[in-house]
């Protein structure tokens, strides 16, 4: 009997269930009745606390199009994984190993983002058999061209910008749409280009507010009554980006606005006199059904993860490289961030049609 545990960890996104389904179908197809799949509840929390259940084949039916995760998820910061809890004296790593052994697992499949992959690599180094799949709307996992959830989030954020366009034109306003993405600008860049934003601000390209204001003023001079800015939640001013790490963190933490977008809006309104509004779609970007592309790639990721297990190839993430699914060693993925390259062809073509990134 083959025994496989599965958990989803960190922020949810579209495509988690379709990835789970792809994996389960791949395993049942190969092993028939000779496989047991254990669903671990709420990510690493369930593995630490021993909360899991034996899944039935029917648990994986009808979930292809459903958003969120049927297993639940939670954030268990990597930096606390080895910290023994004062009150409970729980050794989280020892507990996870204990429950892995209690389930008699041959492999643990982990679906998650950057933090999740650090913990997955740690468990792999602790001797557990681990296979992972790259999940996050941020698209910032190293070793894969694309993560699942990203494209669905781009669709949603683009739709937000589309809707904002009509109200922005009616009122002749400046609008900022703030996109998620944590420390990476992928989501803002793709949605900004797809939605026809005039300005795109991403963490990888620190901006000068005077350049942003000049762009809005130039549009007004050209007779354009409105402007749309796609701003990443991690967008950063050039002078703040230049600060030493500690000072930079302090400056970001002490921002006098709910987020960077509100500061930019205030500065634009002051300088141009044009009404400026902020829209923050927030977790909306992670919600709802996966789009066709995410269903497509998660089905492939799931099937590839099942294949790794069948082949006994552990310690890998299923990555997508040039359209092919390839095994990427967990130790190479863990601890790295895939940022938007500043010389990215996407940025070059966006600049060539006049989109401002606030850097010039």
Closest approach, Cβ 184 to ligand F6P, in A, equals 8
Integer Cα distance of 102 and 142 in angstroms: 32
Nearer to ligand F6P, 137 or 168 (CB): 137
- Burial of 203-228, coded b for 16+ CB within 10 Å and e otherwise, reads bbbbbebebbbbbbeebbeeeeebbb
Contact in structure between 212 and 229 (CB atoms under 8 Å): yes
Q: Is 182 helix (H, G, I), strand (E, B) or coil?
A: coil
Nearer to ligand F6P, 169 or 279 (CB): 279
Q: Is 353 helix (H, G, I), strand (E, B) or coil?
A: coil
Integer Cα distance of 76 and 114 in angstroms: 12
Closest approach, Cβ 138 to ligand F6P, in A, equals 5
The contact set with ligand F6P (CB under 6 A) reads: 11, 75, 113, 136-138, 180-182, 233, 286
Beta strands in the chain (DSSP E): 2-8, 35-40, 52-54, 107-112, 130-134, 174-179, 199-201, 227-232, 276-279, 316-321, 324-329
Closest approach, Cβ 73 to ligand F6P, in A, equals 10
- Residues 138, 140, 291, 294: which is the catalytic one? 138
Closest approach, Cβ 336 to ligand F6P, in A, equals 15
Closest approach, Cβ 178 to ligand F6P, in A, equals 11
- Copy the structure tokens of residue 360: 């010039």
- Copy the structure tokens of residue 67: 């958003």
Contact in structure between 257 and 228 (CB atoms under 8 Å): no
Nearer to ligand F6P, 141 or 320 (CB): 141
The reply to whether 86 belongs to the active site is no
Closest approach, Cβ 69 to ligand F6P, in A, equals 13
Nearer to ligand F6P, 138 or 291 (CB): 138
Integer Cα distance of 86 and 144 in angstroms: 38
Nearer to ligand F6P, 176 or 180 (CB): 180
Integer Cα distance of 206 and 264 in angstroms: 13
Q: Give the orientation angle of helix 345-352 with respect to helix 186-195, to 10 degrees.
A: 30
- Copy the structure tokens of residue 22: 């792809």
- Copy the structure tokens of residue 325: 């699914």
Nearer to ligand F6P, 174 or 260 (CB): 260
Residue positions annotated with a catalytic role = 138
């Amino acid at each position: 009997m083959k025994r496989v545990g599965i958990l989803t960890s960190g922020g949810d996104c579209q495509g988690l269930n379709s990835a789970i389904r792809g994996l389960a179908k791949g395993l049942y197809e190969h092993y028939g009745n000779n496989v047991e799949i254990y669903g671990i509840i709420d990510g690493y929390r369930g593995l630490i606390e021993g909360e899991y259940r034996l899944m039935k084949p029917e648990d994986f039916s009808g979930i292809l199009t459903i958003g969120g995760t049927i297993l639940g998820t939670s954030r268990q910061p990597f930096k606390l994984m080895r910290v023994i809890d004062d009150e409970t004296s729980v050794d989280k790593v020892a507990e996870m190993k204990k429950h892995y052994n209690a389930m008699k697992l041959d492999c643990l499949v982990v679906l998650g983002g950057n933090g999740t992959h650090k913990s997955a690599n740690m468990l792999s180094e602790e001797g557990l058999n681990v296979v992972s799949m790259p999940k996050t709307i941020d698209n910032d996992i190293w070793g894969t061209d694309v993560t699942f959830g990203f494209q669905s989030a781009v669709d949603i954020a683009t739709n937000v910008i589309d809707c904002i366009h009509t109200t922005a034109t009616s009122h002749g306003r400046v609008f900022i749409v703030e996109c998620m993405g944590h420390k990476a600008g992928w989501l803002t860049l793709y949605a900004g280009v797809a939605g026809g934003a005039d300005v795109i601000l991403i963490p990888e390209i620190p901006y000068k507010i005077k350049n942003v204001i000049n762009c809005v003023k130039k549009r007004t001079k050209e007779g354009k009554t409105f402007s749309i800015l796609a701003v990443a939640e991690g967008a950063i001013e050039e002078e703040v980006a230049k600060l030493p790490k500690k000072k930079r963190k302090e400056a970001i933490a002490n921002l006098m606005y709910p987020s960077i977008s509100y500061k930019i809006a205030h500065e634009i309104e002051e300088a141009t006199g044009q009404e400026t509004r902020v829209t923050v779609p927030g977790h909306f970007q992670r919600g709802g059904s996966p789009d066709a592309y995410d269903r497509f790639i998660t089905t492939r990721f799931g099937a590839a993860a099942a294949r790794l297990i069948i082949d006994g190839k552990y310690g890998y993430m299923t990555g997508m490289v040039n359209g092919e699914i390839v095994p990427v060693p967990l130790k190479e993925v863990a601890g790295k961030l895939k940022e938007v390259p500043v010389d990215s062809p996407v940025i070059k073509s966006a600049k060539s049609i006049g989109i401002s990134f606030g850097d010039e």
